[in-house]
Amino acid sequence: MAAIAAAAASLSTLNLSRTSVILPRCHLRRAITSSLSSATTELGAKFAAPAPKPKSKSHKPSPREDSEPYIPWTVNDDESGAVTLKTTPSERFLRAVANESTQRKKKKEDRGSGGKDKPRVPTAEPKYSKAARRFYNERFREPPQRLAKVLAAAGVASRRSSEELIFQGKVTVNGSVCNTPQTRVDPAKDIIYVNGGRLAKKLPPKVYFALNKPKGYICSAGEKETKSALSLLDDFMKTWTKRNPGTPKPRLFTVGRLDVNTTGLIIVTNDGEFANQISHPSSNLSKEYIASISGAVSKRQLIAISEGAVVEGVHCTPDLVELLSRQPDIPRARLRIVVHEGRNHEVRELVKNAGLQMHSLKRVRIGAFRLPTDLGLGKHQELYAASLRALGWKT
Is residue 370 located within the same domain as residue 272?
Answer: yes
DSSP assignment string, 285-339: --EEEEEEEES---HHHHHHHHH-EEETTEEE--SEEEEPPPBTTB-SEEEEEEE
Q: Any idea what the CATH number is for the domain that residue 290 is in?
A: 3.30.2350.10
pLDDT (0 to 100) of residue 336: 95
CATH code of the domain covering residue 190: 3.10.290.10
What's the confidence (pLDDT) of residue 362? 96
Residues 369, 267 share a domain: yes
Q: For residue 178, is it within any domain? A: yes
Q: What pLDDT score does 327 carry? A: 84
Q: Identify whether residues 270 and 384 lie together within a single domain.
A: yes
Range(s) of the domain holding residue 187: 145-198
* 223 and 193 belong to one structural domain: no
**95 inside domain:** no
Residue 151 to residue 76: CA distance in whole angstroms: 82
Closest CA to 220 of 166, 276, 156, 266: 266
Residue where a domain terminates, one of 164, 180, 198: 198
Look at residue 67 in the predicted model and tell me its pLDDT.
Answer: 46
| 85 within a domain of the structure (yes/no) | no
Where does a domain end: 166, 198, 230?
Answer: 198
What's the pLDDT score for residue 14?
44
**Is 14 domain-assigned?**
no
* Same domain for 182 and 320: no
CB-count burial class (<10 Å; 0-12, 13-18, 19+) for 41: exposed
Asked if the structure places residue 382 within a domain, the reply is yes
Set 259, 271, 319, 374: catalytic member: 259
How many helices and strands (H and E) does the chain possess?
13, 19
Give the per-residue pLDDT at 21: 44
Please indicate whether residue 259 is annotated as part of the active site: yes
Q: What is the pLDDT of residue 155?
A: 76
Between CA 360 and CA 258 the distance in angstroms is: 13
Q: Are 268 and 387 in contact (CB under 8 A)?
A: no
Average pLDDT across each block of 10 residues of the chain; the chain has 395 residues. List them in order. Answer: 50 44 51 51 49 52 46 55 66 75 60 57 72 76 84 82 91 92 89 89 89 91 72 90 86 90 94 85 88 92 92 89 88 93 87 93 95 93 92 80
52: in domain:
no
- Is 355 inside any structural domain? yes
The answer to whether residue 224 sits within a structural domain is yes
Based on the fold, state whether residues 153 and 254 are members of the same structural domain: no
